[in-house]
Amino acid sequence: MAPSFAINGGFPGTRITPPSDTGRFAAVYSEVQNSRIDHALPLPSVLKNPFVIVDGPQSTAAGNPDEIAKLFPNLFGQPSASLVPSDSAPLHVNRKLKLGVVLSGGQAPGGHNVISGIFDYLQDKAEGSTLYGFRGGPAGIMKCKYVELTSEYIYPYRNQGGFDMIRSGRDKIETPEQFKQAEETVQKLDLDGLVVIGGDDSNTNACLLAEHFRSKNMKTRVIGCPKTIDGDLKCKEVPTSFGFDTACKIYAEMIGNVMIDARSTGKYYHFVRLMGRAASHITLECALQTHPNITIIGEEVAKIETEKMLIQMVETELEKRKQQGTYKGGFKGQSHFFGYEGRCGLPTNFDSSYCYALGYGAAALLQFGKTGLISSVANLCAPVEEWTVGGTALTSLMDVERRHGKFKPVIKKAMVELDGAPFLKFASLRDEWALKNRYISPGPIQFTGPGSDAISQTLLLELDAQA
């Protein structure tokens, strides 16, 4: 039987029963998927007991603070916030809320758990509240297309990969007309808050929405959540973006398998290219997990050739050497690109718990009236119960770029730091890996037993360096 939920088709006052193929059915899940649905997620202890929110010092910006202040006159300088234990919860905490949530940009493992965390917070702390999921990304906000999320609807998506619970999109709310549409939607649904789950561009858009709503003296608050497998949305307060841990482990498994194939045949040289946009965090993490002979980090060079061009370059050079009589061996190259395979896998234990805490924390921030923050969970090397929860001012992550003659706000991308602990660890070993086969095959993601709770080496090294 299809799960029950209400869906709005974009027409005022119209609710229809969705086609059955828009939902998931646990009855056709694998044993692993079904075991993950009912996997109990731990929460940081601060979220399990009464807490209050304490503001930190006034914030600034990652760059060009004067320009950021002009672009966000109502939000700039606001403090970040931390959840701290309290003897009793504030009186307003139990009031009913109406919240919306939207998935923005490319998929990343764990997105469903952010939504589950928001929903469960409302059930636990604000009984009788309503959560709407906007369908198809930010376009769903502009077109007022939404699903009223219920426990029955959310259940089969818990701890599952993908973004198909409400689907995502890459639209942006930028023009005055689009901001007006968003304004009309949140007023129609009487939203107290909106959670935007996305990467750097999406969270920039979240901050612009928060600024717009505040400038109009509207009650709707906006909180972001850090999503991207690329790992380039992070700072001291936001140690990692969700999905990075899972994606890297998926890619590392495939790289490890290719390495064993290379050992087994001695016939092919394998060239692997990985997803990651301008930053090379995925490549660096996978290198630390698998120990390839050669790894090219984009931040070290001006331009990287593709894996196929690298093969052609090697073939050309070896043919030249054969003609000179300096090389007599053989060479057969195999190219691989690992990208989309890592975006929708079953999230690791780390990403499952991290996303759940991010969503739970985002709902808490909204209940306390916060806006223009990104949900932040830290102390991630410790057991989950000891993680810290709060919100970081989105404007504090921003710089400006001049586009078409105007300053545009952007969240500054976190690139691989060549003097950072993960790269220095890699650099200290790369010469040995180049000459000696030190291959590691990590195997598939584990949910129980050895390795099931391991966090990425990048995060481990970065947090250890900050300690």
Residue 466 pLDDT more than 80?
A: yes
Instruction: Indicate whether 330 pLDDT > 60.
Output: yes
Query: Residue 263: is its pLDDT beyond 50?
Result: yes
Burial class (CB in 10 A: 0-12, 13-18, 19+), 325: exposed
Helix (H/G/I), strand (E/B), else coil: 157: helix
Looking at residue 94, what is its pLDDT?
Answer: 66
Give CATH for domain 248-343+417-446: 3.40.50.460
Mean pLDDT in residue range 434-443: 95
User: What pLDDT score does 308 carry?
Assistant: 81
Q: pLDDT band for position 397 (50/70/90)?
A: very high
The single residue of 200, 230, 245, 351 carrying the catalytic annotation is 230
Q: Is 419 among the residues known to form the active site?
A: no
What is the reported pLDDT for 405? Answer: 83
Closest of 244, 256, 224 to residue 109, by C-alpha: 244
Position 54 pLDDT exceeds 70:
yes
Q: What is the pLDDT of residues 133-171, one digit of tens each?
A: 999 999 999 999 999 999 999 999 999 999 999 999 999
Q: What is residue 93's predicted lDDT score, i.e. its pLDDT? A: 65
- pLDDT for 15 equals 35
- Write down the residue that tokens 């689009």 correspond to: 178
DSSP E strands, 166-310: 168-169, 193-198, 221-226, 269-274
Query: Beta strands of 249-303 (E only): which ranges?
Result: 269-274
Q: Has residue 107 got a pLDDT over 70?
A: yes
Average pLDDT of 364-392? 98
SS3 461: helix
In the chain, what percentage of residues exceed pLDDT 70?
A: 93
Answer whether residue 53 shows pLDDT above 60. yes
List the single range of 92-101, 304-313, 358-367, 375-384 with lowest mean pLDDT.
Answer: 304-313
**How far apart (Å, rounded) are the C-alpha atoms in residues 216 and 10?**
24
Q: Above 60 in pLDDT, residue 19?
A: no
Mean pLDDT lowest among 19-23, 309-313, 414-418:
19-23
Q: What is the residue whose two structure tokens read 């808490």?
A: 364
Where are the chain's structural domains?
26-243+347-411, 248-343+417-446
Nearest Cα neighbor of 62 from 452, 400, 352, 310 is 400
CB atoms within 10 A of CB 366: 28
- Indicate the pLDDT class of residue 438, thresholds 50, 70 and 90: very high
pTM of the model: 0.92
* Average pLDDT over every residue of 225-233: 97
DSSP H or E stretch at residue 367: helix 349-367
Which CA distances in Å does 289 have to 250, 283, 304, 441?
A: 11, 10, 22, 8
Contact call for residues 290 and 253 (beta carbons, < 8 A): no
Q: Which of 301-315, 382-396, 408-422, 434-448 has the lowest mean pLDDT?
A: 301-315
Query: Which residue type sits at 166?
Result: I
Predicted pLDDT at 404: 79
Q: Output DSSP code: residue 446.
A: -
Per-residue pLDDT, averaged over 324-338, amounts to: 91
3-class DSSP state for residue 286?
Answer: helix
Asked if 344 contacts 239 with a C-beta cutoff of 8 angstroms, the reply is no
Tokens standing for residue 441: 């095959």
Cβ atoms within 10 Å of 394's Cβ, excluding its own: 29
Identical fold between 26-243+347-411 and 248-343+417-446: yes
Per-residue confidence (pLDDT) for residue 403, from 0 to 100: 77
Q: What are phi and psi of 47, to 5 degrees?
A: -85, -15
The pair of structure tokens assigned to 113 is 């758990």
The 10s digit of each residue's pLDDT in 175-192 is: 999 999 999 999 999 999
Please tell me the predicted confidence (pLDDT) of residue 349. Answer: 98
302 vs 121, more confident: 121
**26-243+347-411: CATH, from 3.40.50.300, 2.40.33.10, 3.40.50.10490, 3.40.50.450:** 3.40.50.450
pLDDT band of 91, cuts 50, 70, 90:
low
